[in-house]
Amino acid sequence: MAAAFDPGALDPGAAPRPRLSWLVAIGAGLLVALVVTGFVQWRQHAMLRQAVSSSEDMPAVLVFQAESEYRRLREAWLRAAGHAPAPDRDALMLRYEIWVSRIDLLDSPNARRLIRADAESVRTVQRIRATVAAIDAALAAAGPEGPDRALVQQLWPALDALGAPVHAMTMSVTHSLAAASAERMAAVRAQNQLGLGLIIFLGVLTIAFALVAMRHVRQLRERQRVLEQLAASLRQARREAESASEAKSAFLANMSHEIRTPFHGLMGMLSLLRETGLTPRQIDYLRTATESADHLLAIVNDVLDMSQLESGRMTLAPGALELRALLRDVEALMRPQAHAKQLTLHLHADPGVPERIVADATRVKQILFNLLSNAIKFCEQGAVALDVHRLADVHGRALLEFVVSDTGIGMSDDTIARLFRRFEQGDSSTSRRHGGTGLGLEISRNLARLMDGDITVRSRPGEGSVFTFQMPLLAAEEPAAAPRPAAPAGDAAARALDVLVAEDHPVNRQYMAALLDNLGHRAHFTANGEEAVQAARERRFDVVLMDLHMPLLDGAAATRAIRALADPKAAAVPIVALTADAFPETRERCLIAGMNDYLTKPVSPSKLAATLRRLFGAAAGVCTDATPAPTPSPDGQAPLIDENTVAMALQVMPRERLAAMVETFLAQGPATVLRLRSAVRDGQPLDLRVNAHAAKGAALNLGLAALAAVAEALHEGASHLPAHEIARLVQRFEDLLTPTRHAAAALGLADRRWKADADAVPH
């Protein structure tokens, strides 16, 4: 097939150029002819419209009628001036008035234009008007009886003298109309001839175009046949190349395994050698050898992974995994690299991201390690962040998105185009400085595609890079809950507890009041840690619910102060932490401070009831409701309203009360933004954390998930994010207030109208 292929048949410089020139020339001719034809048709239409709109026939009729009425008036006037019986004055005056009305009609614009074409006609009209004026004056002097015979005879010469000029004016108008009509006919005839010629020209060009097009179609068919032969040859060559590539990949995979097996032995021996007594020089040699072996083993692993991917022998081992635990493992391994370069490493997962998913944990970690390692490698200052979102694709399929961003050197479009090519890095100079095989990103993308996902990148020089890894989201089933331990036989019957709630946010206080009231307990509130210590000193409570972040004295310090009270019973009161932090270190800090238990926000009836039951047994009552999982939004961001949390709140309070709490929180939103901005402006990260934490806890309790997510980001990033990023998050919090209000209003939980001060927050 390859021998039969004629390269000249595909040469665009041989035959196609003349054919193309002919087609262009004919097409241009057709276009010009169409334009000229359109102009001619427009011109004909304009001429016909002008002929119709000029309405010259009507002015001519007026002139003819004026002469006709003059003839009739002349005859009536002549009879009245004769020796017949006395004239019929009424008939004579009627005829005179009719003639004068015809003369007045000559004042119309079209009539004046027609008359002005002839100077003699203009003088005739002037003479007629002068005569009419004289007759009118004489008739007016005659009185109401009308003209007598003597007056008629007196006026007859002036009226009779108009006969010749009136007739001449009529003839002049007739000649003008004839000339204009002849001129229009000649112009229309010329236009018709031109239009006919253009139609003939268009027909010829159309036939020529059709012939050239048919010839071109035949040539295209011939070229298609040749291309099909070439494609068949290329398919055959591709099959042969793929066979060779598969053989190469299989050989490379086998060789990589053969190389890696003794390498593990070598690494083990180097590790054992490190434990023996060595001189400082030997230790230095051993460190160099170990680093070289590690680097070489990483290269071998990359080659092995690449060969397995190419040969199709790599398989995934998906299983249920704790996503946030995986992220903590990734952070623990990558943080030393970031710390060594004095970079900030930040990992964040949206609240809508599920706790448990189904995936190959090893391969997900491998991809995240590659992306984070590259980000740290090419970032000299600033921060590296990993953000995890839940979103949906165009088909509604749930996706898990990992976004790795950095403030590094960035990349140009040409660099990005080479980024995922094998054995290549974006810049040879950075490759020499930072090392690497150039396989990491290609392996990561192939692994992502093996998971039915992908990796994309966007970047600009000097502005950092953003790598996005997306994979299908398969939520794993939650493990079966452990059976509830039986209550001690000696527990008393359920009773109302006196509960001290130390909470600085007014909305949270309302929420906790509704929760405790629903469980049948009595709530007592303080707004800060100092008031909580004073209340515990003055009154006996069954349990204290202590918010961790409060002004004046935080929850941990207040707990230590209560434990140090002189009254042993007051000092031993059970204390349960209330916080929006869900991290193990926060729980450990609470227990170290002397707290008995730990509750995360949003606090559900089931969580609170279970905690009180652990402390007081059946005496605290039992609540059997379950806390629903938050519902993620389809776009992967936290939903504006978590309807499951709202439904949970409506179990313990009427809708009107919850709506009042939501309205109060949203009305306080501008003031919250003002406090956050003041903390950013004054460089007070502690104030920023306290205010963000308070807003986060209240938003979580009310189901305002998007606001809670932004508040959490502010709380987490207060101490290490740059000021512009903090300001962006504060602006995001403010921007979410209006859509959150609308979403709450749609559920009957808020008024769509803003308070008067909603727009008063300074920017």
502: domain CATH number is: 3.40.50.2300
Q: How far is CA 155 from CA 92, 98, 129, 145, 152, in A?
A: 13, 18, 15, 17, 5
Q: Which residue has the higher pLDDT, 633 or 290?
A: 290
Domain that holds residue 116: 57-161
Domain boundary among 620, 653, 687: 620
Give the model's pLDDT for residue 757.
41
Residue 449 is encoded by which pair of tokens?
């595609």
CA-CA distance, 643 to 630, in Å (whole number)?
8
**Residue pair 352/639 in contact by the 8 Å Cβ criterion:** yes
**DSSP for residue 9:** G
Average pLDDT (178-203) is 77
CA-CA distance, 177 to 73, in Å (whole number)?
26
> Same domain, yes or no, for 599 and 651?
no
Beta 543-547 vs 498-502: how paired, if at all? parallel
- How far the first Cα of the chain sits from its last, in Å, is 73
- Split at pLDDT 50, 70, 90, the class of 337 is confident
**295-315 pLDDT, tens digit each:** 676 666 667 666 667 666 677
Scanning the structure block, which residue is given the tokens 């929006």? 580
> Which H/E stretch holds residue 107?
none
Give the model's pLDDT for residue 610.
82
> Same domain, yes or no, for 438 and 558?
no
**Residue pair 420/427 in contact by the 8 Å Cβ criterion:** no
**Residue pair 672/732 in contact by the 8 Å Cβ criterion:** no
CA-CA distance, 707 to 735, in Å (whole number)?
10
CA-CA distance, 212 to 738, in Å (whole number)?
65
CA-CA distance, 579 to 685, in Å (whole number)?
18
Give the model's pLDDT for residue 130.
82
Give the model's pLDDT for residue 389.
93
Q: Which residue has the higher pLDDT, 474 or 66?
A: 474
Number of helical H runs and strand E runs in the chain: 25, 12
Q: Which residue has the higher pLDDT, 598 or 478?
A: 598
Asked if pLDDT for residue 128 goes beyond 80, the answer is yes
Residue 185 is encoded by which pair of tokens?
């006919």
Helices (H), 419-525: 428-434, 440-450, 506-518
Asked if pLDDT for residue 31 goes beyond 80, the answer is no
> Same domain, yes or no, for 453 and 505?
no
Give the model's pLDDT for residue 384.
92
> Same domain, yes or no, for 457 and 346?
yes
Asked if pLDDT for residue 364 goes beyond 70, the answer is yes
Residues 176, 179, 185, 187, Cα dihedral to 10° = -100
Domain assignment present for residue 731? The answer is yes
> Same domain, yes or no, for 502 and 610?
yes
Asked if pLDDT for residue 436 goes beyond 90, the answer is no
Give the model's pLDDT for residue 512.
86
Q: Which residue has the higher pLDDT, 37 or 485?
A: 37
Domain assignment present for residue 530? The answer is yes
> Same domain, yes or no, for 380 and 464?
yes
**DSSP for residue 601:** S
- Which percentage of the chain shows pLDDT scores above 90? 9
pTM (predicted TM-score): 0.35
Nearest to 743 by CA among 639, 630, 658, 635: 639
> Which H/E stretch holds residue 15?
none
> Same domain, yes or no, for 324 and 463?
yes
> Same domain, yes or no, for 589 and 685?
no
In the predicted model, what is the mean pLDDT of the chain? 77
Domain assignment present for residue 191? The answer is no
Domain assignment present for residue 11? The answer is no
Q: How far is CA 500 from CA 505, 512, 547, 573, 716, in A?
A: 15, 10, 11, 10, 28
**For position 336, which CATH number holds?**
3.30.565.10
**DSSP for residue 125:** H
- Split at pLDDT 50, 70, 90, the class of 470 is very high
Helices (H), 312-358: 323-340
Domain boundary among 140, 161, 182: 161
- Split at pLDDT 50, 70, 90, the class of 753 is low
Domain assignment present for residue 333? The answer is yes
- Split at pLDDT 50, 70, 90, the class of 586 is confident
Beta 344-349 vs 383-392: how paired, if at all? parallel
Give the model's pLDDT for residue 404.
94
Question: What is the tally of structural domains in the chain?
Answer: 4
Give the model's pLDDT for residue 12.
46
Among the residue ranges 97-106, 156-165, 187-196, 368-377, the one predicted with the least confidence is: 187-196
**Residue pair 175/115 in contact by the 8 Å Cβ criterion:** no
Q: Which residue has the higher pLDDT, 122 or 112?
A: 122
Nearest to 608 by CA among 634, 636, 583, 627: 627
Q: Which residue has the higher pLDDT, 393 or 227?
A: 227
**For position 676, which CATH number holds?**
1.20.120
CA-CA distance, 414 to 340, in Å (whole number)?
30
CA-CA distance, 559 to 552, in Å (whole number)?
13
CA-CA distance, 620 to 60, in Å (whole number)?
112
**DSSP for residue 10:** G
> Same domain, yes or no, for 610 and 659?
no
- Which percentage of the chain shows pLDDT scores above 70? 76
Phi, psi of 497 (to 5 degrees): -105, 150
**Residue pair 701/511 in contact by the 8 Å Cβ criterion:** yes
Give the model's pLDDT for residue 481.
46
> Same domain, yes or no, for 468 and 331?
yes
- Reduce the DSSP state of residue 380 to 3 states and report it: coil
Q: Which residue has the higher pLDDT, 689 or 294?
A: 689
**512-547 pLDDT, tens digit each:** 888 888 888 899 999 888 999 999 999 999 999 998
CA-CA distance, 454 to 53, in Å (whole number)?
71
> Same domain, yes or no, for 456 and 521?
no
> Which H/E stretch holds residue 720?
none
Domain boundary among 131, 161, 191: 161
**Residue pair 37/202 in contact by the 8 Å Cβ criterion:** yes
Give the model's pLDDT for residue 626.
42
CA-CA distance, 627 to 641, in Å (whole number)?
16
Domain assignment present for residue 8? The answer is no
**Residue pair 449/501 in contact by the 8 Å Cβ criterion:** no
Q: Which residue has the higher pLDDT, 447 or 78?
A: 447
Task: Please state the separation of Cα 136 from the chain's center in Å.
Answer: 84
Give the model's pLDDT for residue 15.
46
Give the model's pLDDT for residue 466.
93
Residue 216 is encoded by which pair of tokens?
């071109």
Domain assignment present for residue 564? The answer is yes
Domain assignment present for residue 109? The answer is yes
Q: Which residue has the higher pLDDT, 416 or 492?
A: 416
Among the residue ranges 34-38, 458-462, 671-675, 698-702, the one predicted with the least confidence is: 34-38
> Same domain, yes or no, for 356 and 388?
yes
